[in-house]
Amino acid sequence: MSIIAAGLMKLNDEQNKFLDFVEGSYFPWYYQPTVTKHSFHGHSLMIRNGDLSPDTGIITSQYYEPAISIFKDFCLGTNTKYKTIFRAAINSTSYHESEIAEIHVDHKFEHKNFIFYINDVSKGSTFIYNQDETTLEDVIVPEKNKGVIWDGRPHAQGWCAPDERRLVLIVTFI
């Protein structure tokens, strides 16, 4: 099993206010070309500091601190330790006719993944595979305020239903 920690979070007032802002009409979204075939809109909070070495990422957003507080509180609540954060982003994806996006890993070095579902969607699970991408090992069903950490294995996003938007906070770390 690749899942290290999972659970629903009780957010504080500041975190709830921030996520209401993210779900609203004024949060800044940017077109994100990607290594996979499907582009999306996202907001980079911390960008990679190179793809090959495990260096701390570079903070690129004024919204880094309110977003990363969710990650830090989840780690505290699940007794998960972290040393270095490599990347953090909030992603907004919408319906696509295929069931899932491409299977991928976020880094070519050892890392862990954190996903936090910002909103409820009827579809849009996260699928985690074994290292050679041949066997589905875990399925993370989306639920508002659910956080999950897994061991950096290959994964793919499921697409949400038509007229829905899947909002997630992503953090990679060690």
**CA R_g for the chain:** 15
**Residue 164, domain member (yes or no):** no
**Residue 45, domain member (yes or no):** yes
Q: Which domain holds residue 47?
A: 14-23+33-118+126-137
**Residue 85, domain member (yes or no):** yes
**Residue 168, domain member (yes or no):** no
**Residue 174, domain member (yes or no):** no
Q: How far apart are CA 93 and CA 171, in angstroms?
A: 17
Which distant-in-sequence residues (6+ apart) come within 8 Å of 87 by Cβ?
46, 47, 48, 57, 106, 107, 170, 171, 172
pLDDT at 152: 93
**Residue 113, domain member (yes or no):** yes
pLDDT digits (tens, 9 = 90+) for 114-160: 999 999 999 999 999 999 999 999 999 999 999 999 999 999 999 99
The rounded mean pLDDT for the chain is 94
Q: Are 85 and 68 in contact (CB under 8 A)?
A: yes
**Residue 59, domain member (yes or no):** yes
Binned at pLDDT 50, 70 and 90, residue 98 comes out as confident
How many domains in the chain?
1
**Residue 162, domain member (yes or no):** no
